[in-house]
Homo-oligomer: A and B are copies of this chain.
Amino acid sequence: MRHCTLIPSMARARSPEKRNAILDAAVQEIATAGLGAPTAKIAGRAGVAEGTLFTYFASKDELLNQLYVELKSEVYTRMNAEFPDKASLQRRAWHIWSTYLGWAVAFPKKRKVSVQLHLSDVVSAETRAQIAGQRGATDATIAELGERLALRGLPEGFAAAAMSAMQEATMDFITKQPRRREELIEKAFAVFWRLFR
């Protein structure tokens, strides 16, 4: 009979599975209970001990910031995949518009949490900067849209803000009428696009 402790501590890297389990659990809990969701519950749902959560994230704030980064990355990854770089501005704008709304429809809880984090001030300026750096291919398109509005005297970034705001408004209606989802995404884009014609 061998002593188990004789097996050298394998120095496993902190398992990414557990990290993801915690982030997923956080989404679920926060979607239902808000940002005040207790870390104990998050850990519980993730199937790890209360204390374990703090070996993966130094504090709740840290967890929240990383969660925000994760959610935004997920969106930008989707967006940058198969980005139609060469297409017309309208087609590229449509890609951004529909990809985001597609994600939001597919993962309503993630979107809900993302919005909450966006508005809260637990998300630090550093985190927000870090995310801005991940926009990748979308950046050029957003910038082009911005230029069109700049011609009308609006500041840089206004186009991005307007798009984001209109997307959220659209999502609210999709939540109420999920069946009309595809139709609403298209029609709302048609209206949105008028801003730039």
Contact = CB atoms under 8 A, between A and B. Distances in A.
21 contacts: A3-B4, A4-B4, A11-B49, A36-B36, A116-B119, A152-B187, A153-B183, A154-B173, A154-B184, A154-B187, A154-B191, A155-B180, A155-B184, A158-B170, A158-B191, A161-B169, A161-B172, A161-B173, A165-B168, A165-B169, A194-B194
A197 interface: yes
Copies in the assembly, this chain: 4
Contacts of A116: 119
Closest 5 pairs (CB-CB, A-B): A4-B4, A165-B165, A161-B169, A165-B169, A153-B187
A191 B162 contact: yes
A120 B34 contact: yes
A173 B158 contact: yes
Interface in A154-197: 154-155, 157-158, 161-162, 164-166, 168-170, 172-173, 176-177, 180, 183-184, 187-188, 190-192, 194-195, 197
A188 B154 contact: yes
A125 interface: no
A5 interface: yes
Nearest to A121: B34
Nearest to A32: B121
A120 B158 CA distance: 25
A81 interface: no
